[in-house]
Amino acid sequence: MSTLFVVPTPIGNLEDITFRALRVLREAEYVLTEDTRVTGKLLKHYGIGTKMMSYHQHNEHKVLDGLIRRLQSDCSLALVSDAGTPGISDAGFLLVRECIRKGIRVEVLPGATALVPAIVGSGIPCDRFCFEGFLPPKKGRQARLKTLAGETRTMVFFESPYKLITTLTDLAEVLGKDRQACVSREISKLHEEYLRGTLEELGQTFAKRTIKGEITIVVSGLVV
């Protein structure tokens, strides 16, 4: 049976991948990848010779119909992102949705994501949380933040190192400078770190540093 396999890949350490994921990557007809150079290193590391096809946020609408036709012709595909689980702030949602609409089997493998380690490692209550992904860069940013001002659950955001200080400043202005937060960086990589404190303290700390790597921000909810 043709299947779209959604396969999480390591977010840093190449050992953070399951035996099942490696088997699927070997057995699939093609691996759909954001960047063939990045995925190529992973496949080479594990001696996997499956051919790759480009699939990312800039071409997903263009190639969608062709991928569906392949899947309908008894061809199984493995979808990966550069790091982590596809569809979470990465391309993948459109393809998964269309497969479901067309009755094509979708199998999502569990695996690496920055989301859970960031929450657990923050020390902030994680029994209830909401994931907000990347905040809008400009239009709608303040409106989104204002809707979160009264959120009582722990909030999780993704951010690039280039916008981290701006985002911490914006969060402090809307949610309050004394709101507890944690910034995790380079999870599972050599220079992994968790910095904890108030939004104001974290903003001041990172303002003095050169910021690199993938960023996850965890912010405590409003205490009522």
What 127-135 contacts at long range (C-beta under 8 Å, 24+ apart), as own/partner pairs, is: 128/152, 128/153, 128/154, 128/221, 129/153, 129/154, 129/155, 129/156, 130/154, 130/155, 130/156, 131/156, 132/156, 132/157, 133/88, 133/89, 133/157, 133/158, 134/89, 134/158, 134/159, 135/159, 135/167, 135/170
pLDDT tens sequence across 145-169: 999 999 999 999 999 999 999 999 9
Which of the four pLDDT bands, split at 50, 70 and 90, describes residue 224? confident
CATH topology of domain 3-108: Cobalt-precorrin-4 Transmethylase; domain 1 (3.40.1010)
Q: What's the pLDDT at 139?
A: 86
pLDDT tens sequence across 20-35: 999 999 999 999 999 9
pLDDT tens sequence across 2-13: 999 999 999 989
* Domain residue extents for the chain: 3-108, 115-219
To the nearest whole percent, how much of the chain has pLDDT over 90?
89
Model-wide pTM > 0.85: yes
Q: CATH code for 115-219? A: 3.30.950.10
Q: What's the pLDDT at 165?
A: 96
